[in-house]
Amino acid sequence: MKSLAFEIIGEILIIRESADDKILKDFAKEKMKKHTYIKTVVLQTAKVQGQERTRELRYILGSQNLETIHSEYGCQYLLNPLDTFFSPRLSFERQRIACLVNEDEVILNFFAGVGPFSIAIARKQPKCFINSIEINQKSCRYMKKNVELNKCEDIIAIYCGDAFEIIPQKFLNSIDRVLLPLPMESERSLPLAIKCLKGGEGTIHWQITEHLDSKDIELTMVEKRICKSLSKESLESKLKIEEYRVIRWIAPRIAHIAIDLKLFK
Ligand SMILES: C[S@@+](CC[C@H](N)C(=O)[O-])C[C@H]1O[C@@H](n2cnc3c(N)ncnc32)[C@H](O)[C@@H]1O
């Protein structure tokens, strides 16, 4: 049987490579037989796109219900992969960041989706507070349910709307750690994130995409990208690049990269 690229979100298997219908159905049957927890198989017919980072899916086999609960590192995320962004391939990155958070930190997640970064942090470090912003109303509704499902209501505040409108009114000079999990807005979000840091000091988890010719990331590339996003005036603090790593490959030679920045006076 032909093997096809796929990912699994909860009880839904998403085939990520097109083929003729018989091949798709045979593949779906085989997977459902082998992994009995898979209840639905769909085909992703277009890349993740638009401001809300959603995708098009076509039904192949099983139940038509596209709402599912995905479990990851002891957290549960209810979502519908047609209406909301979610990627199991970010699970390690979520845990990596969650492990860095200290007690009493105030965190701001610009682009929270259904809540996985915020909830992973809240579960790991219950003595912090996380402000989570999301523009997609459906993702926002799922995030509210997920915060309840994972019992983090006391330490996660949800704001439904545009981060670039909400943040300048509410979060300037008040945050210890900022999460920017949207490479598409990497340049616009970094200067605003810096303005949010309390006293100009704190940590920013920046995400970008970049063409890479090898598996390694050049420090000079990271520096160039920072310079492109920040004017000299927007940088009153000192900036240190603490860490950078490939999160995943999103196309041949196109890497989704995490960069940890530390700012201090
Ligand atoms: C790449 S997804 C990441 C979501 C989540 N952090 C995760 O890892 O699953 C980016 C999210 O940002 C949201 N978004 C895009 N532009 C936004 C904006 N201006 N303000 C708030 N949220 C925004 C999208 O709807 C999407 O849910």
The residues lining ligand 1, judged by C-beta closer than 6 Å to any ligand atom, are 51-53, 85-86, 90, 111-113, 116-117, 133-136, 139, 162-164, 181-182
Question: Is 83 inside any structural domain?
Answer: no
Same domain, 21 and 111: no
pTM of the entire structure?
A: 0.96
- In ligand 1, which atom is closest to the CA atom of 184? 1
| Strands (E) located in 50-101 | 54-62, 68-72, 75-79
Is there a contact between 76 and 120 (Cβ–Cβ < 8 Å)? no
Is there a contact between 113 and 139 (Cβ–Cβ < 8 Å)? yes
Burial of 49 (0-12, 13-18, 19+ CB in 10 A): exposed
Q: How far is the CA of 3 from the centre of ligand 1 (A)?
A: 32
In this predicted structure, what is the pLDDT of residue 231? 77
Average confidence (pLDDT) over 134-157: 98
Question: Is 72 inside any structural domain?
Answer: no
Q: How many domains does the chain have?
A: 2
Q: How confident is the model at residue 264 (pLDDT cuts 50, 70, 90)?
A: very high
Residue 234 predicted with pLDDT over 70: no
Q: Which two tokens stand for residue 110?
A: 């610009």
- In ligand 1, which atom is closest to the CA atom of 118? 6
Same domain, 130 and 234: yes
Q: How far is the CA of 115 from the centre of ligand 1 (A)?
A: 10
80-132 pLDDT per residue, tens = 999 999 999 999 999 999 999 999 999 999 999 999 999 999 999 999 999 99
Question: Is 239 inside any structural domain?
Answer: yes
Same domain, 99 and 23: no
Q: How confident is the model at residue 265 (pLDDT cuts 50, 70, 90)?
A: confident
Average confidence (pLDDT) over 186-196: 96
Question: Is 15 inside any structural domain?
Answer: yes
CATH number at residue 28: 3.30.300.110
Domain that holds residue 36: 6-66
- In ligand 1, which atom is closest to the CA atom of 87? 9
Residue 74 predicted with pLDDT over 70: yes
Alpha-carbon span 163 to 185, nearest angstrom: 11
